[in-house]
Structure 1
């Protein structure tokens, strides 16, 4: 049969076992009919909602940690890109018809990644085998062998729960260490002569999706000039923080001696070629000349800086955009462009966590940023930075970390 004639949506819904699809942020995007039937839930009660929103752990039982174990398994799949089969798990599932009442269930899950064209995990397949009736076998229907099997399965489940809890604590510790390293390497806010500047870093929600974004402000040689840059490393955790630190330091040093931002990114791209984990990293750097009132800029696959003029006109600096760092086997000179400004203008650099949302065109996020800047253009940089983050980041936090630099020119 021709693949084009197969209705894969119908196949998914007809699968005999419980199967769900989740985003990397652990939000349900689809569930099959068997999943709904077994859990007693409707599609609208699951799709579009976070794992813990649909299936929280029983707050009345400290031993009810099946969902936390499941979260740890899903995070391992995200981190490794490999399938993870879990041992039998006990779940306390809240009765949707009687809030506060919990049903004890025993499920054997298996989680697998769906990879995108660049090898990144774009979806998670969560498959579950329902074995509650086997575990509940009692009385005349049970045998000595059944009871032995039940005890053995339960023992293995508890051992796995303890292991997953240790992994969860280890992941939490790694997040703390990575964030501390990130904060130590990123400069604090500063006054650039008579030009106030504000910098912000906001980590992503979740256990490990932090520490790939960075920013830098560096005094340039010759005249009253300043280099402002932001960048984004693919990855998360300690590894991303380490790569971030190397790239930021390299660009900071290169900018001091480079003829312009394009040359600085040329050198950084060659350096990224020999740094493990720097593949597909992005960066944009701007050289501000306060005497000439010009901004020279170049971008390596990064969202464009924003220049907001005093009259509220917004200019996206997008005339010198090139592929990410280390994207070409044989680097070629990168482009750069120059624009002018008047006193009182505002330069804004940021990373994609501020403007990108899953399933949404990036132009929508750029328009939100421009609108926020224009509406709040009278605010000082510190207030403006806080307001932009408040208006653009989701209330519960973004799923990608965010860096933001604002300089009043």
Structure 2
């Protein structure tokens, strides 16, 4: 490329990628506009964007000008294989001047008659998001200026992809979280229930959840859990663990046995994932509660006439990695009338600038024998107040209501 033409092309490329109008475009329109300009400015026959898939092991054709079949056919290229795969693996530009099955894995490229190709990586915030490549049907050697210009365009596209994925992940995680939280809590005579869920101000939606469900024999299942991590990945794992726990709860009466099954499931299918879970079963007729806790902050029990206390005698290792494959302990206790049980995630008590023991003491001090909704209001007021928590908060309270006084008829003489 001549010096004057190179300078003119660079200027036009810079104008193209800094065009303020591009900020208003969605991702598909951004691809359409910029890929069309690339084809014109660099005088090439094809321009293609391949993006990394959710697993990070493949590139998938996402947008193209001049080779539409790639997108229509859902072309997938393993990272490390072929031309685009090498660009992704090396995270560096790759140029080839011979296009056939020995240099590319996608037959559409040589069937199109391409004779020269240049590909550059698309990286956003340090993460590989895809590959941008161009092709020519005539013999050609792309010079350093053209490589540099294509990389500038790839960087602009990568920024758009990164922003789009972040927005989409936040929206998907929020929708998933909303769909999995109980729409309403069961109404059981003699028992009141209340709950709160607040996503973290810093981390957004994560893997915290609570669940309440009715079980055969007049029993209630109560769950509070926290999958390590944040974002869509943690929310997806949370959803799978929630569904699995519900299924095991119908098969096994003992909460410890349910968590053993959940532990096995998490270790086998949710690789490198860990979660804390507390699962309780309440017999609503007798007031008996069976509780098993897998690495989760201990529930609080408040009964009339006694200081509230943590049920820490039941806490064992978290779920995942087969940390307690040999069995889990279940603690049984009685919930007398007016008793309150508080289940919560660590976002309620952990603050960067405050001592955790002090916060736990505050939680225990606020909890007392009171209706479930009143307890939720007071706990959130005292432990959250007007300072947003950086981590997710899930809170579940259950109150054993006192039986109403029997009505005594007055017999007149």
Normalised-by-shorter TM-score class: 0.5 to 0.7
Assess if the C-alpha contact under 8 Å between 1:221 and 1:257 holds in 2: no
1:211 maps onto 2:206 in alignment: yes
1:336 maps onto 2:330 in alignment: yes
Deviations 1:342-387 (A, max 9, x none): 111111111111112236553222211112223xx54x32243133
Which of 158, 175, 185 aligns to 2:180? It is 185
TM-score (ref. length: structure 2): 0.56
- The residue aligned with 2:244 is 250
Residue pairs, 1:7-406, within 5 angstroms = 164=159, 167-190=162-185, 191-206=187-202, 208-222=203-217, 224-276=218-270, 279-311=273-305, 313-328=307-322, 331-358=325-352, 360-374=354-368, 377-378=369-370, 380-393=371-384, 395-406=386-397
Deviations 1:161-208 (A, max 9, x none): 8854663453233212211111101112322333121121110113x5
**Secondary structure at 1:184's aligned position in 2?**
helix
Deviations 1:221-245 (A, max 9, x none): 23x2211111110111111111001
Assess if the C-alpha contact under 8 Å between 2:264 and 2:322 holds in 1: no
Q: Which runs of 5+ in 1 are unaligned?
A: 1-61, 66-79, 81-110, 113-152
Query: Equivalents in 2 of 1:299, 1:263: separation in Å?
Result: 11
Deviations 1:81-137 (A, max 9, x none): xxxxxxxxxxxxxxxxxxxxxxxxxxxxxx99xxxxxxxxxxxxxxxxxxxxxxxxx
Query: Equivalents in 2 of 1:314, 1:305: separation in Å?
Result: 10
Evaluate the alpha carbon distance shift between residue 315 and residue 276 of structure 1 in structure 2; reply closer, same or farther with a 3 A threshold: same
CA positional deviation for 1:317: 1.1
CA positional deviation for 1:279: 2.1
**Secondary structure at 1:233's aligned position in 2?**
strand
- The residue aligned with 2:110 is none
Query: Equivalents in 2 of 1:281, 1:221: separation in Å?
Result: 27
RMSD of aligned alpha carbons:
3.3
Q: How many residue pairs are counted as aligned between the two chains?
A: 262
TM-score (ref. length: structure 1): 0.57
Query: Equivalents in 1 of 2:375, 2:323: separation in Å?
Result: 40
Query: Equivalents in 2 of 1:231, 1:278: separation in Å?
Result: 17
Assess if the C-alpha contact under 8 Å between 1:216 and 1:252 holds in 2: no
- The residue aligned with 1:408 is 399
Deviations 1:264-294 (A, max 9, x none): 1011100111223562211011111222222
Evaluate the alpha carbon distance shift between residue 261 and residue 330 of structure 1 in structure 2; reply closer, same or farther with a 3 A threshold: closer
Evaluate the alpha carbon distance shift between residue 330 and residue 181 of structure 1 in structure 2; reply closer, same or farther with a 3 A threshold: closer
Which sits farther off after the overlay, 318-327 or 297-306?
318-327
**Secondary structure at 1:339's aligned position in 2?**
strand
Query: Equivalents in 2 of 1:397, 1:277: separation in Å?
Result: 32
**Secondary structure at 1:204's aligned position in 2?**
coil
Q: Which runs of 5+ in 2 are unaligned?
A: 1-19, 24-55, 57-124, 127-147, 401-413
